[in-house]
Amino acid sequence: MSPTSFTVCAYCPRLCRHVCPVAVATAREAATPTAMMTVPLLAARGDLGPADALAGTSLCLGCGACTAHCKVHVPVAERLTAWRAARLPSPAAAPLEAIEGSAQAVCVLVESDWSQGWSARIGRPVATVRTTDELGHAAWTLGAEDVPARVAAHFAGRTLVTASAAVEAVARAAGLPVARVPAPAGTLAFVTCHDGPLSSPDQLACCGRRGGFVAREPEAARAVAEENVRLLAGREAVCGDEGCASWLRDHGARIDGPTDTLGAAREANVR
Amino acid sequence: MVPYGAGSGVCGAAEGMAGALSLDLKRMRRIGPVADDLVEVQPGVLGQHLEDALERQGRATRHSPSSIWCSTVGGWAASRSAGQFSSKYGKFEDMVAALRVVAPAARFGTGLWSAGEDLGPWVMGSEGGLGVISSLLVRTVPLPEHRQLGAWRFSTVEAAWDAMRAVLQSDLHPAVLRLYDPVDTRLAGKGTATRAAEGARWLDAFQNAALSVPALRKHLLGLPLAMPRLLNAIAQGVANGCVLIAGWEGPRDVVSILARHGASLLSDGEFLGEGPGEHWYAHRHEVSYKLAPIFERGGFADTMEVAATWSRLPGLYAGIRAAIGRHAVVMAHFSHVYAEGCSIYFSFAGTGSLATYDALWRDALDAAAAAGGTVAHHHGVGQLKRHAAARELAGIAAQYAALKSRLDPRGILNPGRLFPPVDVPEPAAPEVEIDPISRLATLDAQAGPQERDAWLAARGWALRYPAHGTLAEAARAPRRPWESRVVGASARIDGRRAVFVAVPRSAAGPDPRAVLPAATYETVTVPVVPLAEPVHRMAYTEEACLARDVRPSRVLGGGVELRGPAAAELAALMERG
């Protein structure tokens, strides 16, 4: 990737800073997508060493809110992720868990088990699989090239049902049929990824837990979570993902009933 | 130490001089609930986040600068920002009801939070030189019920200016009027909805064409910009009229009346439909930022906003176009339109050294001053304009310095920015006269009301804002955000005359018209209305009218006066209740 692929952002007056959860939560100029997109240019000029350059781009949690907002269609998050991936040793994805059941549809469970409700709703048995790392999504985005192949082999002949945008992305890369369960409507407040049908408080767009961000940038991840909780201002919330809900609950958000029955709510929408 | 919001200012106010510390305020981002149409907000709140929070309560400021995604509320106040709907709602300084300010030697409130001397007009426009704004009380309005936009093509800018002026001076209160000059219309594709829909800003379009031919890429880009006079001449030669976008918003019944009469006054132009206006509205914050190829090749691209009364606008436009055109490719649009004048926003791009860039700015700012305009309408002063602004406001430099030494005795805050030493000869006294084009009168500020009003009446005019005492006394009267009550002034300060040229809503520092003691005024330039125009008088209070979003032309004892082609229908609307 040439340095010029970053210059549109480097000369932009930070027009996506208000949708970037990390920039909003940390209020740091270095955490704006614009600043992070300047890092590869500085590195190419020799103004930043490799370690500093990686650190400078590590604040991106890859949620893609900047990409979605960009009016000249620069894939900001994707470029940053790719740039980082090319400079990091490829991480390994966690081993894939065994599939429980023989049904053709497999509910991919990230945290809570909503598969029984889903099975009852559609009137057919479902198989389940638990994943601790969203089928290796974070590792894949950071350059672990074997993830889609492993997932394709593991689920061959099955249809995946998921509530997670990350799992959906991996499944699509693996060439598997996948159904993304939409989030419920008509509730009070929502925290969801930018590509969901709902908006987060003040377009914060991500809970702060996405991908490997918590491990990579724990302080910034915590700041994003706390900013979400502050913006929710005590309102009851619904999360598009149980993992997000759990993360936000740890930081004091009121996310109870609706999320615990999220599977049923999603089923109602899908049906 | 320089207060820092989001750093979107294009004149360099937040950069500070060498060795300065930035005081980043973005974690001061609390937004309170709306109470009595006011919202308390901290200075580090990003503009879009404020609007999002207000929208959930059915409210808005309607302050909509292009930078709303990347600028903060505190920065808006410090630099006297203007939004795209300033014609209807005023500039941000007009929306601020109160400030809390922390200075090295004092903490104080302004406006509604003032406990005595109101330093608000000094702080707004001081760009961090007098104190750090720690909280703001901002006026809000209901979200507009209805919006109506349209576009017209005029054969010349002069014809379009006449139409725009007629709309404003007929009390039709558009939210937006934006006229693109022939070059901007041609190159930016404002002429048709289809072209506009491509979102092709002129440099983008040019670059895309140039960069699509790899073998020519290196040369195509730099060559035309290196020959600005030629390209300016070609662009002017192929231009085909200029496009005006007009828009009204508010209650549906009021908008319907105002927009229909507005369209009638714009009918010398060819109606292009609603498409270009709707497209502009949908994309109004998408400022051009595909300029990297120019910057990478050592070129420059920049903008400059100035303003003048209607009578001086042609000279200002021609003068600055010529000044910039010697160095760069230039185009302009006219926006922030008021009854007394409007702003011109120049965009330019060129190649050359820093010396070329500096010479361009120097020439352009000199041209603005020579044409009787203000050097800043809403971008503020910063580094770029500090000398030109200091010349424009030289009359209050000593008062500013005295106030700064009281609030900031060690000169910590944004040193070296506003009011650098400049040599300005004492100006002559302005003549007492009427400017019928701009509907302004320059009058003796200390004259008695009977003598003054008789002088005006003998010439067929009356004060737009009636005053029972002298105009010097009336100069500080409360005003609505959209009103321009004192447009220009001359004063005798410490035995020396200062003249503040009549300009619409300058942002060249603090507003001298709002800070001068009444006793110092010699003349003031104020809005006037022709006596010959028919009016509708009604026995309603101003508040009753404003509750319906009907804006009286004048408030008189026992009622209000409506003026202009929509007056009868608006009066009937009020009568129907």
- Integer Cα distance of B82 and B68 in angstroms: 11
Task: Give chain B positions within 8 Å (CB) of A7.
Answer: 292, 295-296
Query: Which candidate from A14, A71, A202 shows the least CB-CB separation from B6?
Result: A14
Mean pLDDT along residues A90-104? 89
Could A13 and B67 be called an inter-chain contact, meaning their C-beta atoms sit closer than 8 Å?
yes
Nearest to B49 among A18, A29, A72 (CB): A18
pLDDT along chain B (577 residues), means of 10: 95 88 95 96 96 92 96 97 96 97 98 94 96 98 97 96 98 97 78 39 51 48 65 70 96 97 97 95 80 77 96 98 93 96 94 91 98 96 95 94 97 92 92 98 97 98 95 90 93 92 94 88 96 92 94 90 95 90
Q: Is B12 an 8 Å CB contact of chain A?
A: no
Task: Give chain A positions within 8 Å (CB) of B291.
Answer: 11
**DSSP character for A3?**
G
* A105 against B216, higher pLDDT: A105
Distance from the A10 Cα atom to the nearest Cα atom in chain B, whole angstroms: 8
CB atoms within 10 A of CB B43: 24
Strands A159-162, A105-109: pairing kind: parallel
Is the distance from CB of A20 to CB of A61 less than 8 angstroms?
no
Please tell me the predicted confidence (pLDDT) of residue A153: 96
Contact A242, A171 (CB under 8 A): no
Rg (CA), chain B: 23
All residues of chain A having their beta carbon less than 8 Å from the beta carbon of residue B26 are 27
Q: Is B289 close to A8, i.e. CB distance below 8 A?
A: yes
Place A263 in a pLDDT band, splitting at 50, 70 and 90.
very low
B544 touches chain A (CB under 8 A): no
Which positions in chain A touch B292 (Cβ < 8 Å)? 4, 7-8, 10-11
CB contact under 8 A, B289 and A15: yes
Across the interface, which of A29, A71, A203 has its CB nearest the CB of B52?
A: A203
Please check whether residue B29 touches A, CB under 8 A.
yes
| Cβ-based neighbour number of residue A271 at 10 Å | 8
Within 8 A of B44 by CB-CB distance, chain A residues are 27
**Tally of CB atoms within 10 A around B58:** 10
Residue A271, pLDDT score: 30
Q: Please give the residue that has the higher pLDDT: either A87 or A39.
A: A39
Q: Quick check: B198 and B276 in contact, CB under 8 A?
A: no
pTM: 0.86
Nearest residue in chain B measured CA to CA from A33: B70
* Residues facing B442 on adjacent strands: B433, B525
pLDDT band per the 50, 70, 90 thresholds, residue A138: confident
Average pLDDT rounded to a whole number, residues A135-159: 89
pLDDT at B173: 97
How many residues can be counted in chain A?
A: 271
- Determine contact: A55 vs chain B, CB below 8 A: no
Contact call for A17 and B70, based on CB within 8 A: yes
Give CA–CA dist A33/B47, Å, rounded: 18
Residues contacting B382, CB < 8 A, separation 6+: B9, B10, B11, B12, B13, B14, B15, B127, B417
By C-alpha distance, the chain A residue nearest B283 is A71
Between A7, A14, A71, which is nearest B292 by CB? A7
What pLDDT score was predicted for residue B411? Answer: 95
Res A196: pLDDT: 41
* Confidence band of A264 (pLDDT split at 50, 70, 90): very low
A202 in B contact zone (CB under 8 Å):
yes
B49 contacts in A (CB within 8 Å)? 18, 24, 202
* Average pLDDT of every residue of chain A: 79
**Which pLDDT tens digit goes with each residue over A210-250?**
767 887 888 888 998 888 888 777 766 666 666 777 788 88
List A107's β-bridge partners, or say none: A128, A161
Count of CB atoms situated within 10 Å of the CB of A56: 21
- Between A23 and B219, whose confidence is greater? A23
Q: Is A100 on the interface with B (CB under 8 A)?
A: no
A12 interaction partners in chain B (CB closer than 8 Å): 289
